[in-house]
Amino acid sequence: MTGFEPKIIGFLCNWCSYAGADLAGVSRIQYPTNLRIIRVMCSGRVDPALPLGFLAEGADGVMITGCHIGDCHYIDGNLHAKRKYGLLERLVAKAGLEPGRIMLDWVSASEGQRFADIVTGFTDQVRELGPNPAVTDPCVKLNLMAAKAAAEEYRLRALVGKEEKLVTEGNVYGEEMTQEELDRIMEEAVETEFTRNKIRLILSVKPMSVKGLSAETGIDSRIILDHVVALRQRGWVDLHEVQGNSPVYRAMEVQ
């Protein structure tokens, strides 16, 4: 991989990490030029759909940095960042992308050197991984787009949003959940939402039968059928035509 310069996008919180990055500058600490910084007020602002979108569009790596746990300018925004990053990790894995292309870490306003070290380390790590396969492999790109769409859907967002409360206070029936139980539910939901969005994306390009979808995705046709039924109920997919004995489905425009 000679001459490969990774494109890296970094979300930095305004109060700690962005200030830490400024301090690296004031202290003239040198680091690689690959990083492009997007300033956000809080690391908890980083909607997992944003990094997934950038990865789908060819970013070689995305890093998120916030205030140290316990030091958040917004009290616990970085804890939310951590929860959201958990979903991002699951979806990146589901999309088949290397986990090393994303990173979450903490940098305080006084840690210019630490910031530079983190950027250098992450840049080297991504350089080692090579170019993002989504650029050349349409399957990976499709997966990432499906992952992004899943991150934009109600179910996963609601689960992540309620995660803290479900673990600490329990559900509406007062039943507390262990983190393990919640992780299992989350993993199932991620699998379901990812697959459904992938089916929808495939059908938006070209109407297909369940069998065709099964061949395209490598997923058992009975599972595909379940998803297609659910997608029809949501109004995301509808019957396009019947070829022989097989119904062919198409994706609907969703508002």
Positions in the binding site for other proteins (CB under 8 A): 7, 9, 14-16, 18-19, 21-31, 33, 36-42, 44-47, 49-50, 53-54, 57-59, 67-68, 71, 73-77, 80, 84, 108-110, 112, 116, 152, 154-155, 157-158, 160-162, 165
Q: Residue 132 Cβ, how far from other proteins at the closest point, in Å?
A: 10
- H helix or E strand, kind and range, residue 254: none
Q: Residue 174 Cβ, how far from other proteins at the closest point, in Å?
A: 16
Q: Residue 169 Cβ, how far from other proteins at the closest point, in Å?
A: 9
Q: DSSP per residue over 84-101, as a string?
A: HHHHHHHHHHHTT--GGG
Q: Compare residues 165 and 234 and give the one whose CB is closer to other proteins.
A: 165
Q: Compare residues 113 and 221 and give the one whose CB is closer to other proteins.
A: 113
Look up residue 188 and give its two tokens.
């199932």
Q: Compare residues 163 and 227 and give the one whose CB is closer to other proteins.
A: 163
Q: Can you name the residues that pair with 249 across neighbouring β-strands?
A: 208, 239
Q: Residue 220 Cβ, how far from other proteins at the closest point, in Å?
A: 29
Residues 49/135, Cβ–Cβ less than 8 Å = no
Q: Residue 38 Cβ, how far from other proteins at the closest point, in Å?
A: 5
Integer Cα distance of 133 and 6 in angstroms: 12
Q: Residue 2 Cβ, how far from other proteins at the closest point, in Å?
A: 16
Q: Compare residues 8 and 203 and give the one whose CB is closer to other proteins.
A: 8
Integer Cα distance of 223 and 229 in angstroms: 10
Place of tokens 């990812």: 194
b vs e for 12-38, b when ≥16 Cβ sit within 10 Å of the residue's Cβ?
bbebbbbbbbebbeeeebebeebbebe
Q: Compare residues 245 and 255 and give the one whose CB is closer to other proteins.
A: 255
Q: Compare residues 46 and 237 and give the one whose CB is closer to other proteins.
A: 46
Look up residue 151 and give its two tokens.
């991150």
Q: Give 117's contacts (C-beta < 8 A, 6+ positions apart).
A: none
